[in-house]
Amino acid sequence: SSAFVLGPNCCSSVLQTFDKILIANRGEIACRVMKTCKKMGIKTVAVHSDVDSSAVHVKMADEAVCVGPAPTNKSYLNMDAILEAARQTGAQAVHPGYGFLSENKEFARRLAAHGVTFIGPDTHAIQAMGDKIESKLIAKKAKVNTIPGFDGVVKDAEEAVRIAGEIGYPVMIKASAGGGGKGMRIAWNDEETREGFRFSSQEAASSFGDDRLLIEKFIDNPRHIEIQVLADKHGNALWLNERECSIQRRNQKVVEEAPSTFLDPETRCAMGEQAVSLAKAVQYSSAGTVEFLVDSKKNFYFLEMNTRLQVEHPITECITGLDLVQQMIRVAKGYPLQHRQADIPINGWAIESRVYAEDPYKSFGLPSIGRLSQYQEPVNIPAVRVDSGIQEGSDISIYYDPMISKLVTYGSTRAEALQRMEEALDNYVIRGVTHNIPLLREIITHPRFVSGDISTKFLQEVYPEGFKGHQLSDSERWELLATAVALFVAAQLRSQRFLGNLRVSSSQQEQRRWELSVELEKGVHAVTVSRSGSTYAVDLDGKRVDVSSEWNLASALLPVTVNGTQRTVQCLSRSASGEIDLQYLGTSYKLRVLSKLAAALNKHMPEKVPEDTSSILRSPMPGSVVAVSVKAGDTVAEGQEICVIEAMKMQNSMTAAKTAKVKSVHCNAGDTVGEGDLLVELE
Amino acid sequence: MAALKVVRSGSRLLNGFQSLLNNPRKVTCGVAATVTKHPRWYCVSHLSVQERIERKRKAALSGGGQQRIEAQHRRGKLTARERVELLLDPDSFVEYDMFVEHRCSDFGMEADHNKYPGDSVVTGQGRINGRLVYVFSQVKDFTVFGGSLSGAHAQKICKIMDQAMMVGAPVIGLNDSGGARIQEGVESLAGYADIFLRNVMASGVIPQISLIMGPCAGGAVYSPALTDFTFMVKDTSYLFITGPDVVKSVTNEDVTQEELGGAKTHTAVSGVAHKAFENDIDALLNLREFFNFLPLSNKDSAPITECHDPSDRLVPGLDTVVPLETTKAYDMLDIIHGIADEREFFEIMPNYAKNIVVGFARMNGRTVGIVGNQPKVASGCLDINSSVKGARFVRFCDAFNIPIITFVDVPGFLPGTAQEYGGIIRHGAKLLFAFAEATVPKITVITRKAYGGAYDVMSSKHLRGDVNYAWPSAEVAVMGAKGAVQIIFRGKENQAEAEAEYVEKFANPFPAAVRGFVDDIIQPSMTRKRICRDLEVLASKKQANPWKKHANIPL
């Protein structure tokens, strides 16, 4: 597939489109759009906030304009500044990427008024599809299957409860202007409906400046499958097959694939045709996505239409060979589509993992921030595409989406694509921020995922107690322990090798056998190690494990062969006192290797007592305090809301871990807090 | 096990001797001429010597018996011998003076049950990763005298220090002592002084390291204070001149041992200790790692270890590490970790005077000392504590042939009465003095601000910097734009315009570069590559200061 790596030759037809395009976005999508622009010989203009002035998308562009300070509403959502940037640089068209102003009809309208082409659909299509209530009515008219629900704006929480009662629980409360999971809550009873209404309207107001909400029947346990459409200004429209995006947490996609394992050709065709008919009904032009919920009986219901380039568009590019950004630019210039429906293939299989700066051990991912002290993409593996907008040294800040990259692998079969994904995740070096690679690797190797048995509830069902990292089998445990021990010995030996130092004892011979102890998760194992060349034979609980490697102790990646199996392990840290953190099978493990003597004496070392966490509430992530619901002296019940933290535009309710009196409150509404900051102390 | 091995090999020797003794008649005959009158006495005496050797050795090794060892363990501490074994390579320890006993005869001390073979300290030499080191480990655990320092105890320490000086090898002291042995009176005080003198004589000749692993009070504290590095163990070690009881009676202050002289106090408040570790094992293993950075003596070059990190590695992250706004902070450790081999940095005094960062790293396997202003703390300004911290570190490096790499982002000296009254002029001069007198290779990188006198101080070209670089973000000037404009254009309107002009003229590396005060303006990502190359060139640097008895650093 020519679009897979976005090589220079994929734009075979040399067509005059635009001389210069401004990309009104940041991060990976801005870079992605610029790549195609460069291929098409189009000059690019980046816009950026002040904190982004040395970001990758800025360096990549031919010109860059600062459009304001860090907060998005002052920069990337600042229409005046962006319009001015377009005028100043003479950009003939604007590509909005996704998010920000991509589905803002006002922006499209004002661009048109300035004679700048908006690379996307016409204003009326954005408006019609951007409003969930209106879009549903249009969809119904276009004979698209829709979900039963209330086709109007809900006035207040009590009305929400009444409507929910009529439709029947569970219901979904969502922002009329929403998207991307923001301002969306599911309620199973009246109380949750009231709470959901409150949160959703706050989130909708802060994310979209529009707090209108609607309610519809919540289809339990569905799959999320969407159809990519592409339409021109001449009434032609195509469907470019589906993407399955069922693996989600908090209604945000985590792993996507194309095609779906679930669809048969008939269903695919039916969905594709309905999607095209909806596109035609709103005179859609450009690339767009029609999202459906599909139940276990392959009934599908229209969810919404996204009138923009979708985050997960690369997997469609992989299997169809089309460059969607190029197609959008062509269409925006007014060219008719180059392809017919029969020309659209499904070649092979593509998987996308969204790599986030998040802690997957907290609610499948709470944002984390920091500086990428080391960063290395696994692009040396064939058929791997990484769309990113960051590099080593970049900051992941609280201002923007915490996505690090989209990691896409491709294969002639699903199994091949999955195999490559596993390898790519193991070879992906990310240091300085907490990331979700442990979760991604577990998902793509889980038997249910591998067999295609998934739904939007996959994560909750597979990890009902929350994600706990990879669970080691016995043989994996031995492998991990042996690897740590071998690494320890290799490092010990190296620390005895001084170059050109004549004062090292001449009678000293390199040790060949070691008696050590290795600890993992409170289990202590006595081991003996012997060395021949670069292979260490580790004798562990009566089992022999051979570990060999080049033992390059400076490299972030440690390729090892353990009893004949090749793996890439990452050494995250190594301390003088024997602590070794290894990332193995995606998950990081804390091990400790000590000499036999040190291990025997270690039991005498005093255990330092960690603080009691049930009476202390700390911020689980960096963000800002939206509201504090208690004051010192109040009595709170277990589970009662104490305060609300907003991070990356998501509001998170912090609750009491026990029933107790509030001892002291350490934060105020409006404060910015870091991860681990003390918020409230209970007695 | 090392100590046990000594016994084993020792007893093998003794076995040979014993077989000789098992034929007493022959022996008796051989020397009959001289001891004909007491042949029987002669044989018995030799047998009893043999027994006594074994008995004493056993007593010395048993560390006061299983009960005392267990009591020590219950306190979360290891015994003196266990510490030595963990610190040194397996089987490498050679013990001296196991048979030394105290010589006090007052207060009933002469009684046999008050004498312990080896007295209250274990001394000897051994190896750390194959390299020679002398060690003493005080034994607070088993004598009734609480590991107090007797004349004999001091004599044992002096013996290994003298030998360490002669062969040129570091001395590590594992301190855990109850202080002076009161029963011995002035003899104990003399013992301290003998050690102090040797500490001073050895200073700058061999590295001296103290690890405080228990209480260390009174006169005892001055030996660690005279050594190059003092490390502590958290929660179990204390250093103070007088304990909480005396403090209470003299100043009426209520203070705990921990508050008065615990690891936290000395690593964060007083600056007496250079680092603290979690427990005995953590401390000893870290000490092994630390030892690998040091040369054995001032006649040896800094060690070079096998290195897997390419010396020409580019560090792209450094190109964005300095924020565009000059008032915004960043972490100097990001730069240090970025350029060092394998991102490894052994920081000295990480919790004290945090506006300056000092510590050891390796560049292409070679030990270097790194000094950097820390913009994250107090904008990286120089004050009294940071000047003293930096100066002592620079002097250690210079004394022991360790090249110094300095990262400069300094807005100047900290103003204020607290600083002036405290003597910032005198203390700031120490850092200036230390950089100026240093003759080891000196490489300086100006990452951002290098303002005023602080620019001169921070290993500038004018103080014989060998290679001085500026990053494109460097601003070498007398002061920041705002202050400068207020002075140059006092009373004039249009200050903003004047400020812009000043920034254009001075807030960049050119004024220094055109004068040759920086040798080159380099891309930050190239810094590691350039420094590694420079260090190779400078390895053969020879520079000497004029002859003097010693310099007169403003103490």
Q: What residues of chain B lie within 8 A of the CB of A597, using their CB? A: 1, 85-86, 90
Number of CB pairs < 8 Å for A and B? 121
**pLDDT tens track for B499-538:** 888 888 888 999 999 999 999 999 999 999 999 999 999 9
A575, A577, A597, A607: best to mutate for the B interface, most B CBs within 10 A:
A577
**A535-540 vs A543-549, strand pairing mode:** antiparallel
Q: What does pTM read for this prediction?
A: 0.86
Task: Report CB contact under 8 Å: B292, A374.
Answer: no
Q: Which two tokens stand for residue A2?
A: 């020519």
Task: Tell me if residue B280 falls in helix, strand or coil.
Answer: helix
Q: How far is B473 from chain A (nearest CA, A)?
A: 13
Q: Which residue has the higher pLDDT, A609 or A551?
A: A551
CA distance A255 to A97: 20
In the set B118, B126, B151, B218, the catalytic residue is B218
Reported as a pLDDT band with limits 50, 70 and 90, residue B45 is low
B306, B363, B367: best to mutate for the A interface, most A CBs within 10 A:
B306
Q: Which residues of A457-471 are buried (b: 16+ CB within 10 A; e: fewer)?
A: ebbeebbeeebebbe
Q: How far is A583 from chain B (nearest CA, A)?
A: 17
In this predicted structure, the answer to whether residue B444 has a pLDDT above a threshold of 80 is yes
Task: Report CB contact under 8 Å: B365, A499.
Answer: yes
Task: Report CB contact under 8 Å: A601, B296.
Answer: no
Inter-CA distances, B340 with A457, B321, B478, Å: 46, 15, 31
At residue B339, what is the residue type? I
Q: What ipTM goes with this model?
A: 0.88
Cβ neighbours of residue A130 under 8 Å, at least 6 residues apart?
Answer: A103, A105, A177, A307
Backbone angles phi, psi at A452, to 5 degrees: 85, 10
- The answer to whether residue B218 is catalytic is yes
Per-residue confidence (pLDDT) for residue B21, from 0 to 100 = 42
**Chain A: residues touching B (Cβ < 8 Å):** 50, 53-54, 371-375, 391-394, 494-501, 503-505, 508, 552-555, 576-578, 594-595, 597-598, 601-602, 604-606, 608
Quick one: which H or E segment has residue B393?
helix B384-399
Kindly tell me the burial class for residue B46, based on how many C-beta atoms sit within 10 Å of its own C-beta (0-12, 13-18, 19 or more).
Answer: middle
When pLDDT is averaged across residues B440-467 and rounded to a whole number, the result is 96
Helices A79-89/A105-113 angle, 10° precision:
30
**pLDDT tens track for B232-258:** 999 999 999 988 998 999 999 999 999
**A513-520 vs A587-595, strand pairing mode:** antiparallel
To which residue do tokens 């103290």 refer? B210
Kindly tell me the burial class for residue A202, based on how many C-beta atoms sit within 10 Å of its own C-beta (0-12, 13-18, 19 or more).
Answer: middle
Per-residue confidence (pLDDT) for residue B20, from 0 to 100 = 40
CA distance B171 to B126: 11
Task: Report CB contact under 8 Å: B343, A373.
Answer: yes
Average pLDDT, chain A: 90
Reported as a pLDDT band with limits 50, 70 and 90, residue A646 is confident
**pLDDT tens track for B164-186:** 999 999 999 999 987 877 778 88
Residue-level length of chain A: 683
List, as one string, the DSSP characters of A223-280. EEEEEEEEE-TTS-EEEEEEEEEEEEETTEEEEEEES-SS--HHHHHHHHHHHHHHHH
Per-residue confidence (pLDDT) for residue B58, from 0 to 100 = 83
Per-residue confidence (pLDDT) for residue A367, from 0 to 100 = 84
Task: Report CB contact under 8 Å: A606, B303.
Answer: no
Inter-CA distances, B322 with A391, A393, A671, B331, B522, Å: 15, 10, 26, 9, 14
Per-residue confidence (pLDDT) for residue B6, from 0 to 100 = 39
Q: What residues of chain B lie within 8 A of the CB of A372, using their CB? A: 317
In this predicted structure, the answer to whether residue B212 has a pLDDT above a threshold of 70 is yes
Q: What residues of chain B lie within 8 A of the CB of A497, using their CB? A: 305-306
B141, B211, B258, B281: best to mutate for the A interface, most A CBs within 10 A:
B281
Reported as a pLDDT band with limits 50, 70 and 90, residue B300 is very high
Q: Which two tokens stand for residue A49?
A: 């906030």
End-to-end CA distance of chain B: 45
**pLDDT tens track for A551-583:** 999 999 999 999 999 999 999 999 999 999 999
Q: Which residue of B has its CA nearest to A509?
A: B130
In this predicted structure, the answer to whether residue A484 has a pLDDT above a threshold of 80 is yes
Reported as a pLDDT band with limits 50, 70 and 90, residue A243 is very high
**pLDDT tens track for B307-316:** 999 999 999 9
Task: Report CB contact under 8 Å: B306, A497.
Answer: yes
Per-residue confidence (pLDDT) for residue A501, from 0 to 100 = 66
Reported as a pLDDT band with limits 50, 70 and 90, residue B41 is low
Q: Which two tokens stand for residue B247?
A: 């403090």
Q: What residues of chain A lie within 8 A of the CB of B279, using their CB? A: 605-606
Ranking A316-320, B8-12, B245-249 by mean pLDDT, the lowest is B8-12
In this predicted structure, the answer to whether residue A449 has a pLDDT above a threshold of 90 is yes
At residue B483, what is the residue type? G
Give the active site residues of A. Answer: 304
CA distance A527 to A485: 8
In the set B217, B276, B434, B454, the catalytic residue is B454
Kindly tell me the burial class for residue B74, based on how many C-beta atoms sit within 10 Å of its own C-beta (0-12, 13-18, 19 or more).
Answer: exposed
Q: What residues of chain A lie within 8 A of the CB of B337, using their CB? A: 373
Q: Which two tokens stand for residue B475?
A: 């601003």
CA distance A82 to A80: 6
Q: How far is B378 from chain A (nearest CA, A)?
A: 20
| Number of Cβ atoms within 10 Å of the Cβ of A273 | 15
Per-residue confidence (pLDDT) for residue B38, from 0 to 100 = 52
In the set B63, B214, B219, B412, the catalytic residue is B219
At residue B341, what is the residue type? D
**pLDDT tens track for A71-103:** 999 999 999 999 999 999 999 999 999 999 999
Average pLDDT, chain B: 88
Q: Which residues of A255-264 are buried (b: 16+ CB within 10 A; e: fewer)?
A: bbbbbbebbe
In this predicted structure, the answer to whether residue A244 has a pLDDT above a threshold of 70 is yes
Helices A324-333/A27-39 angle, 10° precision:
70
Contact B235, A606 (CB under 8 A): yes
Task: Report CB contact under 8 Å: B303, A501.
Answer: yes
Per-residue confidence (pLDDT) for residue A250, from 0 to 100 = 84
Per-residue confidence (pLDDT) for residue A97, from 0 to 100 = 96
Per-residue confidence (pLDDT) for residue A630, from 0 to 100 = 87
Q: Which residue has the higher pLDDT, A576 or A165?
A: A576
Task: Report CB contact under 8 Å: A597, B320.
Answer: no
Task: Report CB contact under 8 Å: B130, A498.
Answer: yes
